[in-house]
Amino acid sequence: MHSSGVKHTCPDIDRIKKTLFQMVKDMEYYVKIECDSDTISDFLSSSASELYSMTDELEDLRVANSDLRLWGEGLLEEKEALELQISALEDLNDK
């Protein structure tokens, strides 16, 4: 996490993409070699496990993105408040 308390999500996204890409390559390979049903069954079982795991990771990414959005909205509110203060100070200086 960096100073904002918002988690870096790009490594998680990259890991999920890499896993999905590898699963697709494995599927293409198994289709090409016409392997036996036990091999396909093992692959499908393993793939299902990985996909379930990814749903949890995606939920974590959703939370991290929500945190990032809220952090950015908070910064925008702070900026707007500071601009109002600066405007008020400039008005006082003009008087």
DSSP 43-59: HHHHHHHHHHHHHHHHH
Q: What's the pLDDT at 21?
A: 92
Q: Over range 5-15, report the average pLDDT.
A: 83
Rg (CA), the chain: 25
Domain ranges within the chain, ordered by starting residue: 10-94
pLDDT at 73: 94
CA distances from 67 to 22, 57, 74, 92 (A): 30, 15, 10, 37
Over the stretch 35-60, which tens digit does the pLDDT of each residue have? 778 888 888 888 888 898 889 889 98
- Residue that wins the pLDDT comparison between 32 and 61: 61
Give per-residue pLDDT as tens, 83-95.
999 999 998 888 8
Contact 10, 68 (CB under 8 A): no
Handedness of CA 72, 76, 79, 81 (dihedral sign): negative
